[in-house]
Structure 1
Amino acid sequence: MLDFLFDRPLVSSSEIVDTLNISTVSVNELVKRFEKIGILREITGKKRYKKYFFANYVDIISRGTQNI
């Protein structure tokens, strides 16, 4: 799943399910764990059709380009 997030830092659970052929239950559990440790951040504020942002990756890229 991490490889997928590097390619697509803005995702929904359904996109992960469809792309990686992982069950919805497994994806939802992974997303919860990734949110808890700060890898993913939910950005819609909705109860359904949530989008998640791979915050750490984007932060690293942003820091690396600040002085350019």
Structure 2
Amino acid sequence: MKRHQDRYYQLLNEVRYDGAWEMWVLFFLQGIQEISDEALKTVQEIISLKQKIIDQLHTGEKTSLLAIRLTDLIFKSPIITVPQIQESLHTNRQTAYDMVHTFEELGIITEMTGKKRYKKYLFREYIEIIEKGCE
């Protein structure tokens, strides 16, 4: 509705002054269809991205149950730290670091702080899909 705000208010005023409900309802339904189509496209892009990552892990022979679980985790939390990975996946620090290194090598996540300690990693491609879907 924000994209067509002027038209929305114009039609709302026509309802108010002339009782022109039909045009307003049609406009509203078109808006719902447009939003639904965009949401479906975003979901399809997310599913495609997840499959791409799983394929990368398989192709690079880096696949494991923990790698798949980390894939699921970064879709839930696209900014993440090694301690969060360690806690969420119930693994030790070294395994969490190794997995982060693998995901960095594959270009799935990138370090975003520039620090030597307390690093945070960003799942940029996912964030970009979400941001594009919110425009």
TM range, normalised to the smaller chain? 0.7 to 0.9
AA partner of residue 9 (structure 1): P
1:35 corresponds to: 104
> What TM-score results when the alignment is normalised by the length of structure 1?
0.85
Cα shift readout 1:7-31 (whole Å, capped 9, x = no counterpart): 0000100011011101111110110
Q: CA deviation at 1:65?
A: 4.5
**2:114 paired residue among 31, 45, 54:** 45
Of 54-63 and 27-36, deviating more is 54-63
Residues 12 and 51 of structure 1 are in contact (CA less than 8 Å); yes or no, is this contact kept in structure 2?
Answer: yes
Structure 2: segments with no counterpart, 5+ residues: 1-69
Structure 1 window deviating more from structure 2 (10-19 vs 57-66): it is 57-66
Aligned 1:4-19 pairs, distance under 5 A: 4-19=73-88
Pair member with larger Rg: 2
Structure with larger RCO (C-alpha < 8 A, sep 6+) = 1
Kindly indicate which of the two structures has a greater share of residues assigned to helix. 2
What's the CA shift for 1:59? 2.3
Task: Identify, as 1 or 2, the structure richer in strand.
Answer: 1
Q: Supply the distance in 1 between the matched residues of 2:111 and 2:88 (Cα, whole angstroms).
A: 19
**In 2, Cα distance between equivalents of 1:43 and 1:23:** 22
- TM-score normalised by length of structure 2: 0.46
Give the aligned CA root-mean-square deviation in angstroms: 1.2
Output the CA distance in 2 between the equivalents of 1:34 and 1:19.
16
